[in-house]
């Protein structure tokens, strides 16, 4: 291995979903047949562990790198790679759902992490909406509204447009609705409690499982529901900090072909996903990598600053 580590290029993992479509092909991916809802672009989770493409670690999984070459993530804590980066193609509505925090997930889901996530809207219908938050003020009120099928009264619908951003904390009832394409940054967890799934049937004629009791355990009934996802944070030299929490920070980085960017990488690692544009190059002290829309990479500890050139928008995150 070079004294200065190079970028880690990852091969995405795809999942078929009842609500998925075919728009992930727009990123140049070869996706499975049928409705495909999820591209796990950067993941070391057992349900989708991405393989390294090229370089000295070619063919290894991200979880193997975390366990066997932790010097690449020096300073990062925990027993697993902590983040999971997805692109979601919601051709149809996702279920109305909620995620637990670390404490509840650890106790009730075999030691899993909780799931704090956030969404960057890549594309949506002109009159698009999503659900973030709900209007019941207690478990009892929520249960009564469920019993009476008062979903429209309960859920908080928010209009969306391309470029919006939403912080989805554990305990937040939410649903991505149809015709929406989203980049999701989240803790490395696959725990979802479905509240309602529109009584739709799977291919085998069965209904998907609901998890109402656990959902009502973890819902934050005091959370204030948002009215907009408009990004108000300033853009400085092409970089906008979309959010910061105890699990991750998320940046949007815009690069113009006539104006290269230098992005500091002084973290244990940085996740990089190219989500718009024609692509370009990322150069470090160890070399230059060609990237395009749909590329997912990890910039490891000690790789140095990143020089970004081309026409592209990236979503970047770090712990």
Joined tokens for residue 251: 């940046």
For this structure, is 23 an active site residue?
no
Catalytic-role residue among 23, 139, 150, 194 = 194
Which residues neighbour 226 within 8 Å (Cβ) at sequence distance 6 or greater?
Answer: 132, 133, 156, 158, 166
DSSP-based three-state secondary structure for 176 = coil
CA angle 56, 61, 66 (to 5 degrees): 85
- Mind giving me the DSSP string for 12-70? -EEEEEEEEESGGGGGT----SS-EEEEEEE-EETTEEPEE-SSTTTT-BHHHHHHH-G
| Residue 304 burial (10 A CB sphere; 0-12, 13-18, 19+) | middle
Q: Which residues are catalytic?
A: 194
């Amino acid at each position: 291995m070079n004294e200065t580590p190079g970028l880690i290029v990852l091969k995405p993992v795809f999942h078929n979903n009842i609500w998925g479509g075919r728009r992930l092909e727009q990123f140049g991916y070869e996706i499975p047949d049928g409705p495909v809802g999820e591209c796990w672009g950067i993941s070391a989770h057992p349900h989708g562990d991405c393989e390294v493409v090229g370089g000295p670690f070619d063919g290894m999984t991200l979880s193997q790198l975390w366990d066997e070459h932790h010097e690449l993530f020096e300073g990062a804590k925990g027993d697993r790679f902590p983040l999971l980066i997805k692109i979601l193609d919601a051709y149809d509505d996702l279920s109305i759902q909620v995620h637990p925090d670390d404490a509840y997930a650890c106790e009730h889901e075999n030691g899993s992490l909780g799931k704090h996530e956030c969404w960057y809207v890549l594309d949506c219908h002109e009159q698009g909406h999503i659900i973030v938050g709900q209007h019941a003020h207690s478990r009892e009120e929520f249960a009564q509204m469920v019993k009476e099928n008062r979903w429209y009264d309960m859920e908080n619908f928010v209009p969306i447009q391309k470029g919006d951003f939403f912080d989805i904390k554990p305990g937040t009832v939410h649903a991505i609705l149809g015709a929406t394409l989203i980049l999701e940054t989240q803790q490395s967890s696959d725990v979802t409690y479905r509240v309602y799934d529109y009584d739709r049937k799977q291919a085998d004629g069965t209904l998907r499982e609901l998890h109402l009791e656990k959902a009502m355990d973890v819902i934050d009934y005091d959370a204030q529901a948002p009215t907009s996802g408009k990004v108000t944070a300033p853009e400085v030299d092409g970089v906008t900090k979309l959010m910061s929490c105890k699990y991750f920070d998320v940046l949007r980085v815009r690069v113009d072909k006539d104006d290269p960017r230098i992005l500091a990488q002084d973290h244990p690692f940085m996740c990089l996903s190219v989500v718009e544009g024609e692509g370009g190059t990322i150069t470090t002290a160890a070399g230059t990598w060609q990237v395009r829309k749909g590329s997912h990479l990890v910039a490891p500890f000690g790789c140095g600053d990143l020089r970004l050139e081309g026409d592209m928008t990236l979503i970047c995150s770090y712990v």
